Amino acid sequence: MTDSPLLSVAELAGLNKAGDVLVVDCRFELSDPGKGERDFLAAHIPGAVYAHLDHDLSDLSRKGLGRHPLPDDARLSAMLSRWGWQPGRRVIAYDDAGGALAAARLWWLLRLVGEREAQVLDGGWAAWRAAGLPVESGEGIHSAGTVSVSIDHAGVVGLDELQAALARGSVLLLDARGGPRFRGEVEPLDRVGGHIPGAVNRPFAENLTADGHFKTAAMLRAEYGALLGAHAPGQVVHSCGSGVTACHNLLAMEAAGLSGSRVFAPSWSGWLEDPARPVATGAV
């Protein structure tokens, strides 16, 4: 099993040259859902396949579960089969958003189906290009296969479970959105702004340094430790707008050695599906 959820571009270059890894390009832009795939076709890490956040890493046909509902077992199995993946084959995901859109999402989904040989490329596409490493264009060539996977839903927090846990005070809910959205000052995507009552803001961007790499494990451990206080990592639940950037905070905690937190998959957009659910605004 890999020791860290993160991998450097130098390490990936060595693995990719040896052909020992499946590289997945997860670039995505919320304002232009087709841009990531166009960018992939123009240039990507050699041998990579493309994962689309809306079509592969979500199932938008599922209603009442937020803007990016989790794919079911059949959809995940079909995606992985199309790439020729088999359990135990190492997967490296990357994007151009520090892992937030949507490399961390793929990494988390692979964890949910029991695959621990999965990592996110630290620094992503920008770090690969900055290192002067080779790229290729086009759809890429990969051999399809057949695989069947099942999501372990113990790693996912749903609406009912979250509401009950918040009522008991047994969880710490960390919201990965930026401060203005959390406080309800702006809301570009969902029905209203604000946050789930009791949530604490931890913008995912704070996991990164100015050059788009993750902070050191020690720095992340200190920052999350201050947020957790008396809470154990297993009592932490991550949320965001639709269950995507929340995975970035979970990834950061794992990189810090704080294992066991989970994701509230419907997140803010799912919470708002029922107008009766309370909305909090302002700073905590």
Q: How many helices (H) and strands (E) does the chain have?
A: 10, 10
Q: CB within 8 A of 198, min separation 6: which ones?
A: 166, 173, 280
pTM for the complete prediction?
0.97
Residues 114 and 180 in one domain: no
Judge whether 191 lies within some domain: yes
What's the first-to-final CA gap in the chain, in angstroms?
Answer: 39
Q: What is the CATH number of the domain that holds 196?
A: 3.40.250.10
Mean pLDDT value of segment 27-34: 97
Residues 33 and 59 in one domain: yes
- Give yes or no for residue 33 having a pLDDT over 80: yes
Percentage of the chain exceeding pLDDT 70:
99
Domain ends where: 100, 127, 151? 151
Domain ends where: 109, 125, 151? 151
Q: Which residues are catalytic?
A: 240
Q: pLDDT tens, 126-183?
A: 999 999 999 999 997 778 899 999 999 999 999 999 999 999 999 999 999 999 999 9
Residues 56 and 75 in one domain: yes
Judge whether 75 lies within some domain: yes
CA–CA gap between residue 114 and residue 102 (Å, rounded): 19
CA–CA gap between residue 4 and residue 239 (Å, rounded): 22
Residues 160 and 257 in one domain: yes
pLDDT score of 1: 61
Residues 131 and 40 in one domain: yes
Judge whether 277 lies within some domain: no
Tell me what the pLDDT averaged over the chain comes to: 96
Percentage of the chain exceeding pLDDT 90:
95
Tokens at residue 51, please? 């994962």
CA–CA gap between residue 174 and residue 237 (Å, rounded): 6
DSSP code, position 247: H
Judge whether 119 lies within some domain: yes
Residues 99 and 13 in one domain: yes
Domain ends where: 100, 130, 151? 151
Judge whether 202 lies within some domain: yes
Residues 110 and 244 in one domain: no
Residues 111 and 18 in one domain: yes
- Give yes or no for residue 13 having a pLDDT over 80: yes
Judge whether 280 lies within some domain: no
- Give yes or no for residue 2 having a pLDDT over 80: no
Judge whether 251 lies within some domain: yes
Q: pLDDT tens, 177-233?
A: 999 999 999 999 999 999 999 999 999 999 999 999 999 999 999 999 999 999 999
Q: pLDDT tens, 91-124?
A: 999 999 999 999 999 999 999 999 999 999 999 9
What angle in degrees, to the nearest 10, is found between the helix axes of 103-112 and 246-255? 70
Residues 55 and 186 in one domain: no
Judge whether 281 lies within some domain: no
Domain count, the chain: 2
CA–CA gap between residue 191 and residue 171 (Å, rounded): 26
Q: pLDDT tens, 223-274?
A: 999 999 999 999 999 999 999 999 999 999 999 999 999 999 999 999 999 9
Residues 252 and 158 in one domain: yes
Q: Which domain holds residue 69?
A: 6-151
Residues 204 and 229 in one domain: yes
Give residue 18's pLDDT band: very low, low, confident or very high (50, 70, 90): confident
Residues 75 and 163 in one domain: no
Are 99 and 31 spatial neighbours (Cβ–Cβ below 8 Å)? no
In the chain, the amino acid numbered 29 is E
Distances (CA, A) of 183 to 162, 192, 202, 228: 20, 11, 12, 20
